Amino acid sequence: MQYQGGTAPSTATGQASLSLIDGRTGQSYSLSIQEGAIRAAELRNIKVSEDDFGLMSYDPAFANTAACRSAITYIDGDRSVLDYRGYPIEQIAEHATHLEVACLLLKGELPAAAQLQQFIAEVTAAGAPPDGVRKLFEAMNPLVHPMAMLMAGLAALGGEFPKSAQVENPEQRWSDILRLLAYTPILAGWAYRRRLGLPFVEPDPALSYAGNILRMLKGEAGKPYRPDPKLERALDVLLILHADHEQNCSTSTVRGVGSSRVDPYSAVAAGVAALYGPLHGGANQAVLEMLEEVGSVANVAAFVQSCKDGHRRLMGFGHRVYKSYDPRAAIITRLAEQVFEVTGQNPKIRIARELEKIALNDPYFIKRKLYPNVDFYSGCIYEAMGFDVKMFTVFFALGRMCGWLAHWDEMIRDPEQKIARPRQIYTGPARRDYVRLEQR
Ligand code: SDX
């Protein structure tokens, strides 16, 4: 689905190819074009002499580099398209549940009812993390950011299950995938309650995935908990919207770390680290802190000006791929209204809406194709549901866990993939001899 212009143009040979001439040698080359890309390795054939290393492509932050072939998620950033295994996010968010989406991303097809029940039963049967990890959370400083707690907990799980290092074994991979889907919400609950000094709450197998997350964060140990169905569904939709997003920073990190054949717990712990950053998943926390700082609708114009003057970024705006409205942000704004029917409107939403209105009509943002992304409104919902701002990125990680695992599994199974090891353009000093200390 790379080429949208009908039948791709082809040369006389019937093969699409790129012909180029090396101005240094006058030599001409033909690079084959497949699925909208050339193979970077073919550039190495372009040399000025036999012992020349050959050409590389230079692409800081991999802005225009396909590091893999993937069948999981498709994004068209110019047309606000986001499809999970071919299904439009709008339809998925309206009709599916998060574990159904996890099954779709992991297996490639929407599960039939019996398959979905089997999958849910397998996740539930994975149980709870080992006691050693629980004690780790009980011992952690309650002031530690819950993303740091989550990272530590996931890394520790890798050590608790040494067989998880057998990543080439599909049965082992599947058992670790189920554990991570089951354990991550429990770790999130432990982090949330450790920070509040509250006893941990065990999951209730009778509740849905989202219902259990609400129970383990907001419930009381040993007591029944019935989540508000509207809030339960809103959280489930938020988990779905965050489930996957092709080769974003954290997913690429999981793929890269996983390519060394380390266990999946360590690979997703690295993914949590990448997601934690304010330019990535940490933006949902940064948006709420920004709205807090703006303080009122009256201050919005001045704040937008400070962004245009380059003094700060409008957090929750802009995207490397979407140069149009993030389809997830559109769904979240509608979801916010449903949540506010239960919780009462979060006053910060008015500041957010005014920021969006001004920004979408300002040449600075229009010229740079900056639109609200998935993080712009999600925090207003989480805050209205009574969660502290530091938990927002943890919710992002809870949704994204199934996407990370689907990509990790796809990478392990891909015969073309090897350990990730990019090259560089060296800009340091030419080779030189060591100078003894007394001679410096
Ligand atoms: C997520 O990749 C994914 O798919 C991520 C994600 C997922 O689901 O995994 O969608 C989740 O991470 C969403 C993004 C959350 N981050 C934020 O909301 C932080 C604020 N946004 C920006 O920092 C920025 O837009 C990025 C990081 C999202 C994208 O940055 P790029 O593609 O590297 O763009 P850039 O930094 O090169 O900016 C291009 C121009 C610059 O201006 P000029 O130098 O051309 O004058 O746009 C400006 C930037 O200054 N710009 C902004 C801006 N974002 C970019 N100016 C003000 N406010 C912003 N938010």
Structure confidence by residue, pLDDT tens digits, 196-254: 999 999 999 999 999 999 999 999 999 999 999 999 999 999 999 999 999 999 999 99
CA distance 186 to 188: 5
pTM score, whole prediction:
0.95
How many CA atoms lie within 13 Å of 433's alpha carbon, on the beta-carbon side?
A: 3
395 shares a domain with 344: yes
CA distance 332 to 339: 10
| Atom 23, ligand 1: residue with shortest CA distance | 279
Pocket test for ligand 1, best of 368, 378, 395 (most atoms within 8 A of CB): 368
State if residue 282 touches ligand 1 by the CB under 6 angstroms criterion.
no
Is 115 in contact with 103 (CB distance < 8 Å)? yes
Instruction: Just list the catalytic residues.
Output: 280, 319, 375
155 shares a domain with 51: no
310 shares a domain with 273: yes
Domain that holds residue 311: 72-419
Distance (Å) from CA 329 to ligand 1 centroid: 15
pLDDT at 1: 39
Cα angle 229, 341, 191; round to 5: 55
256 shares a domain with 215: yes
State if residue 267 touches ligand 1 by the CB under 6 angstroms criterion.
no
Give the tens place of pLDDT for each residue, 31-70.
Answer: 999 999 999 999 999 999 999 999 999 999 999 999 999 9
Question: Average of pLDDT values for 408-429?
Answer: 98
Indicate whether 437 belongs to any domain.
no
| Atom 39, ligand 1: residue with shortest CA distance | 368
- Judge whether residue 130 has pLDDT over 80: yes
pLDDT at 9: 41
- Judge whether residue 5 has pLDDT over 80: no
164 shares a domain with 40: no
Report residue 332's pLDDT band, with 50, 70 and 90 as the boundaries: very high
Give the tens place of pLDDT for each residue, 349-365.
Answer: 999 999 999 999 999 99
Indicate whether 64 belongs to any domain.
no
How many folded domains does the chain comprise?
A: 2
Distance (Å) from CA 60 to ligand 1 centroid: 15
Residue 177: give its domain's CATH number: 1.10.580.10
241 shares a domain with 386: yes
Pocket test for ligand 1, best of 319, 332, 392, 400 (most atoms within 8 A of CB): 319
Distance (Å) from CA 384 to ligand 1 centroid: 26
Indicate whether 31 belongs to any domain.
yes
State if residue 279 touches ligand 1 by the CB under 6 angstroms criterion.
yes
Nearest to 315 by CA among 285, 283, 358, 349: 283
Name the E strands within 132-289. none
Provide the token pair at 277.
């950053």
Indicate whether 47 belongs to any domain.
yes
Q: How many Å from the N-terminal Cα to the C-terminal Cα in the chain?
A: 60
Question: Average of pLDDT values for 259-268?
Answer: 98
265 shares a domain with 212: yes
Torsion region of 222: left, alpha or beta (phi above 0 gives left; psi -120 to 50 gives alpha) = left
Q: Pick from 58, 82, 102: which residue ends a domain?
A: 58
Report residue 3's pLDDT band, with 50, 70 and 90 as the boundaries: very low
Distance (Å) from CA 91 to ligand 1 centroid: 27
pLDDT at 14: 52
Q: Pick from 34, 58, 82: which residue ends a domain?
A: 58
Indicate whether 67 belongs to any domain.
no
CA distance 242 to 326: 12
241 shares a domain with 96: yes
Q: What is the mean pLDDT of the chain?
A: 95
Indicate whether 440 belongs to any domain.
no
pLDDT at 17: 96
333 shares a domain with 230: yes
Question: Average of pLDDT values for 120-138?
Answer: 98
pLDDT at 117: 98
Q: Determine which helix (DSSP H) or strand (DSSP E) holds 364, and give its type and residue range.
A: helix 363-367
pLDDT at 7: 41
pLDDT at 154: 98
Distance (Å) from CA 320 to ligand 1 centroid: 6
